[in-house]
Amino acid sequence: MDLTTITAIGRPRERGDLPQWQAGDAWLAGGTWLFSEPQPGLRRLIDLADMGWPPLEIGAEGLRIAATCTLARLAAAELPPAWRAAPLFGQCCRALLGSFKIWNAATVGGNLCMALPAGPMAALAVGLDGVCTIWTPEGGERRMPVADFVLGPQTTALRAGELLRAIDLPAEALRRRTAFRQISLTPLGRSGALLVGTLGAGDFALTVTASTRRPVRMDFPGVPGAGELAAALTAAIPDAVYYDDLHGAPDWRRHMTFRLAEQIRDELAAAA
Ligand SMILES: Cc1cc2nc3c(=O)[nH]c(=O)nc-3n(C[C@H](O)[C@H](O)[C@H](O)COP(=O)(O)OP(=O)(O)OC[C@H]3O[C@@H](n4cnc5c(N)ncnc54)[C@H](O)[C@@H]3O)c2cc1C
């Protein structure tokens, strides 16, 4: 939709072009959310499209995903065969049930910064030990685990004027075996629960998203027993943390979280 309050658009090509941040500014990535509803508080959009960040950088340390990398590009990534977590990329991208137009415009950074409970990039990045690189308006940089970045529905750890530059996934996490489960109330609905399990040399981790207000990550020294996992879920996710909106009631989300978690435990226990 037209955003009738916008009076200026910035098109920076490098960091030095970024304008001084003002009230009423917003970073524009794919625009799939920004242009989907009225934004009465906004006056200026700062379009990141021309920053020219390489969408994906594969190195010995792991994978760097630019904030501006689209979901379509991420889903099509050709990753080293040793990175057994590769199937998780397509699974998480497909969990955002948009048309090809949305897929080709929506970005990884936009999805994380939206911080919707059903944001599948949070599931991917928290599940694979992702670390955010954030540019500060003073010209500096800070890093934090993605697990600490998403704080709640449409709330992140970004301060005014900060820009998410990239997400780094370490090679060690990318080598892990993964399991993925997702459910929606309707066939084309938003995720009501989306869980990711990973299995490393001996460690097991479970990331719960969509059913909860923010991602919840649990780590175990090995594959836990069914009772141990259920007890850990009960302890880690108080009832008030289960999300409530038209995509699912909290008691249904809680039920599905336990059920899908057990399926993941079972799948990865068999692989171990
Ligand atoms: C049909 C449809 C289905 C959708 N389904 C889902 C879904 O299942 N799950 C879901 O999570 N979302 C969904 N969305 C919402 C939205 O499309 C996605 O969250 C998308 O990934 C947002 O990315 P974008 O690049 O388009 O962000 P934009 O719309 O450009 O920006 C979103 C917000 O993030 C900020 N932002 C963007 N990039 C940065 C950055 N690098 N640093 C700091 N701030 C930044 C913007 O200022 C804005 O506030 C859906 C939207 C549509 C239209």
Cα 55 to ligand 1 centre (Å)? 17
Give the pLDDT of residue 201.
86
Q: Which two tokens stand for residue 155?
A: 């709330």
pLDDT digits (tens, 9 = 90+) for 101-160: 999 999 999 999 999 999 999 999 999 999 999 999 999 999 999 999 999 999 999 999
Dist CA 209 CA 122 (whole Å): 8
Looking at the domain that runs over 177-271, which CATH code has it been given?
Answer: 3.30.390.50
55-172 and 177-271, same CATH topology: no
pTM for the model: 0.97
**pLDDT beneath 50: ranges in the chain:** none
Give the pLDDT of residue 99.
86
CA 128 to chain centre: 11
Contacts by 240-246, CB closer than 8 A, 24 or more apart: 241/212, 241/213, 241/214, 241/216, 242/211, 242/212, 242/213, 243/117, 243/153, 243/210, 243/211, 243/212, 243/213, 245/117
Q: Which residues contact ligand 1 via a Cβ below 6 A?
A: 26-34, 36, 48, 67, 96-98, 102, 105-107, 109-111, 113-114, 116, 118-119, 158, 163-164, 190
Cα 140 to ligand 1 centre (Å)? 25
Q: Where are the domains of the chain?
A: 8-47, 55-172, 177-271
Q: Which two tokens stand for residue 156?
A: 């992140």
Best of 32, 34, 53, 191 for a ligand 1 pocket test (most atoms within 8 Å of beta carbon): 32
Give the pLDDT of residue 97.
85
- Ligand 1, atom 37, lies closest to the CA of 110
Give the pLDDT of residue 187.
86
Looking at the domain that runs over 55-172, which CATH code has it been given?
Answer: 3.30.465.10
Dist CA 237 CA 126 (whole Å): 16
